[in-house]
Amino acid sequence: MTENAVESSADVIVVGAGPAGSATAYYLAQSGLDVLLLEKTEFPREKVCGDGLTPRATKQLVDMGIDVSTDNGWLHNRGLRIVAGGIKLELDWPELSSFPDYGLVRKRADFDELLARQAEKAGAKLYERCNVSGPVIDDRTGRITGVTAKLGPEKREVTFRAPLVVAADGNSTRLSIAMGLHRREDRPMGVAYRTYFKSPRSDDDYLESWLELWDERGGQRKLLPGYGWIFGMGDGTSNVGLGILDSSPAFGELDWREVLKRWVANMPEEWGYTPENMTDPIRGAALPMAFNRQPHYTRGLLLVGDAGGMVNPFNGEGIAYAMESGQIAARTVIQAQARVTAGGRERALQGYPAVLKDVYGGYYSLGRAFVKLISNPKVMQLATQRGLTHPMLMRFTLKLLANLTDPQGGDAMDRIINGLSRVAPNA
C-alpha cells in the first residue's frame, strides 16, 4: 500500500484540542518546541460538561495566561451550594495560597476554543477537521513515530511525523487503544447527562449540587450513587445535569435521560426547568476516573486527561486534571528533549507515570474507596442526613471532594487530607 503524503513533521504531535491537549501544546510550544495540535472537529464545537470550574481549574487557566475576568465573559462563583434531605448549605471555596478563592462558569464550545487559540498564540500549529485514524509505528522498535489522519472537508489522507505523540483524544482514545492500552475494569467509570434551560436562576453566585438522586421504579424509592447539578450560566440559561457511577446495579438499567427529566419535573415551577424552556437536547458523556488506562507512557506515547482516566472519582471533575496532566506531560517532554542521548531521553519520559502517581495516586485511591462506600445506599443516606447538619464536617468534605488544600502548611483539615493521600497506595 502506498504511504500517505507527509503533511508535516514536528517535535511533538498532540492529538485532541480539548483542555488536556491544548494545555499540553501550549506549554510545549512556549518552551520553543515544534508542536502540531490535531483536532478532529472544527471550532466552535460542543462538549458534554457541567461547564462549572472549581478554583483548581481556575488556577490552570491563570497559569496559561487566560484572562478570566468578568469583562472577558467569565461568570465567577463563590463556592458550592449543597442540597439534600431538605437542607441547603452554602460553602465558600477555601482561602488558600495554592488556589484562587473563586470558581468560574463558561460553555465548553467557547472555553475549548479559547484554550486552543492560546496554544496557537504560543506557537503550536493547529489543524482543525483533522481526524486521526491511527498511529504510525516503527516496525523495528515498536515505537510510535507519527499518526495517519483524514484532513479537511475532503478527508484527504495524510501522515504527520514526530518522535513523540500525546494522546489527548478523550475517553474513547482510539490512539491509545491502537497502541494496545485498554481500559482497566477495576477502576470506576461515571456518566454525565446535561441540558440547558432558560431560567431566572442564570446568575448564581454558587455552583449547586444535589446529593440525592432517586430510582423510583416499581413503586420503590432507592437512592442512587450520583448527584445532580444546577449551574447558572450568566446568559439567561442554567446548565442542569446529573452524574452517576457504574458501581450502582441500576447503572445499565435506567434511562438516564428520563431520570433527568423526572428530576427537573419536580423542581419549583418558577425556576423554568420545563420542556418548553429547554434550549438543547439532553446529551451524555463518559467520565473515565482514577487512572483507568495505564501506563501513561509507552513507546513514545504519553496519555493526558480523559485518555488516561484522570477524572476525579470524588466529584467527577475532569477539566482541572486534564490541564494539570497536560502541564506535567509537557514538563516531562521538555526535560527529555534536553537530554543528549536517546537513553537519557527515554529515562526522562519513563518518569512521567511515576510523577502522575506521586501527584494523584494516593488521592485517587481514596476516591476509589469513596466510590465503593457511597455505592451502599444506606451509607449514602446516612451521610446526607447527618453530614449536612455539621458545617465544619461539610467544609472538610468540600476540601476533600474538590481536592483543594495547601500542600505545605495549611490548616488542620489540609494536613489530614494531605496525610491520607500520602499514606494511600499510589495505584
- Give the tens place of pLDDT for each residue, 390-403: 788 889 989 999 99
pLDDT at 426: 83
Count of CB atoms within 10 A of residue 196's CB? 23
pLDDT at 215: 73
Which of the four CATH numbers 1.20.120.400, 1.20.120.160, 3.30.9.10, 3.30.460.80 does domain 189-288 have? 3.30.9.10
Domain ranges of the chain: 5-77+99-185+290-361, 189-288, 366-423
**Does the pLDDT value for residue 284 go beyond 80?**
yes
The secondary structure element, H or E, covering residue 301 is strand 301-303
Strands 156-161 and 5-9: parallel
Percent residues over pLDDT 70 in the chain:
94
Of 12, 9, 6, which is closest to residue 29 (Cα–Cα)? 12
Q: Which residue reads 500520602 in cell numbers? A: 422
Is residue 192 packed enough to be buried (19+ CB in 10 Å), middle (13-18) or exposed (0-12)? buried
Joined together, the cell numbers standing for residue 72 give 472577558
Q: CA-CA distances (angstroms) from residue 373 to 194, 251, 315, 361? A: 25, 16, 14, 19
**Whole-number Å distance between alpha carbons of 277 and 299:** 50
For 26-73, the pLDDT digits (tens) are 999 999 999 999 999 999 988 888 899 999 999 999 999 999 999 999
Residue type for 240, please? V
The stretch 278-302 carries a mean pLDDT of: 95
pLDDT at 1: 33
For 220-231, the pLDDT digits (tens) are 777 777 889 999
CB 128 within 8 A of CB 153: no
Q: What is the mean pLDDT of the chain?
A: 92
pLDDT at 2: 40
pLDDT at 214: 77
Give the bridge partners for 165, in sequence order. 13, 301
Which of the four CATH numbers 3.50.50.60, 3.40.50.970, 3.40.470.10, 3.90.79.10 does domain 5-77+99-185+290-361 have? 3.50.50.60
**Whole-number Å distance between alpha carbons of 47 and 58:** 19
pLDDT at 3: 54
Angle at 142 between CA 330 and CA 147, to 5 degrees: 55
**Whole-number Å distance between alpha carbons of 346 and 53:** 35
Joined together, the cell numbers standing for residue 214 give 432517586
